């Protein structure tokens, strides 16, 4: 059976949990607390991921895969979560790369910083630029979703899962989603899909 190494607070991990739920694929769940440094122990670094990060997908044969969006594409191979038309598939990949460069580093980071006891001077200096880059990312999604129900093509794809993960909890990083009504409608559309699970599904007690 597959094993997902993850932290329940991680949106990157949630992308994978959500896809596995939509596909009805069972898996073992190994939880780590990144705030306690549990992904930087010698054991984690030598046996799970030398990069010191979750999520990590471990296959039956022991091979491990890192990078949430790479894990999504591995798991969804051959399903409708990846469009069969080559151009539409490449458009989906455009959103996945964009998510990692222009969305996650701003929207996920401000949410994560709320969990820290205090911000360093470097983090404080980045706050404003990250907030405005995050607003720009939400505005771009709003522009697309005012015209289409899904980010790519005629149905949900990995682009929607990858972007949903941190967008739907953006308010935890003090972004105001009421300014983005098309994004809000898209969030409701995803949450209404069969087998949907919430990001808090694996929360620690």
Ligand X SMILES: N[C@@H](CCC(=O)N[C@@H](CS)C(=O)NCC(=O)O)C(=O)O
> Is 5 a residue that touches ligand X (CB under 6 A)?
no
Q: Is 73 in the site for ligand X (CB under 6 A)?
A: no
How many CB atoms are closer than 10 A to CB 46? 9
Does residue 39 bind ligand X (CB under 6 A)?
yes
In this structure, the chain runs to a length of 205
Q: How far is the CB of 170 from ligand X (least distance, A)?
A: 15
Minimum distance from residue 39 beta carbon to ligand X (Å): 5
Q: How far is the CB of 56 from ligand X (least distance, A)?
A: 8
**Integer Cα distance of 169 and 204 in angstroms:** 18
The DSSP bridge pattern shows strands 56-58 and 2-6 to be antiparallel
CB nearer ligand X, residue 71 or residue 141: 71
54 binds ligand X (CB under 6 A): yes
Buried b (16+ CB within 10 A) or exposed e, 119-137: eeeeeeebeeebbebbbeb
Closest approach, Cβ 67 to ligand X, in A, equals 5
* Site of interaction with ligand X (CB under 6 A): 10, 12, 34, 39, 52-55, 67-69, 100
């Amino acid at each position: 059976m597959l094993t997902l190494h993850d932290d329940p607070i991680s949106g990157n991990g949630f992308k994978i949990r959500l896809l596995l739920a939509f596909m009805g694929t069972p898996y073992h769940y190994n939880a780590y607390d990144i705030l306690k440094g549990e992904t930087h122990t010698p054991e984690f670094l030598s046996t799970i991921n030398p990069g010191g990060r979750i999520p990590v997908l471990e296959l039956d044969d022991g091979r491990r895969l890192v990078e949430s969006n790479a894990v999504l594409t591995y798991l969804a191979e051959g399903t409708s979560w990846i469009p069969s038309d080559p151009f539409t598939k490449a458009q989906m990949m455009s959103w996945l790369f964009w998510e990692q460069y222009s969305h996650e580093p701003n929207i996920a980071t401000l949410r994560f910083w709320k969990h820290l006891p205090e911000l360093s001077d470097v983090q404080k200096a980045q706050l404003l630029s990250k907030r405005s880059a995050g607003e720009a990312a939400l505005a771009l999604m709003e522009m697309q979703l005012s015209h289409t129900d899904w980010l790519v093509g005629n149905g949900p794809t990995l682009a929607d899962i990858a972007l949903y993960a941190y967008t739907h909890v953006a308010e935890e990083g003090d972004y105001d989603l009421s300014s983005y009504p098309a994004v809000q409608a898209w969030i409701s559309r995803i949450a209404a899909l069969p087998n949907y699970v919430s990001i808090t599904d694996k929360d620690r007690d």
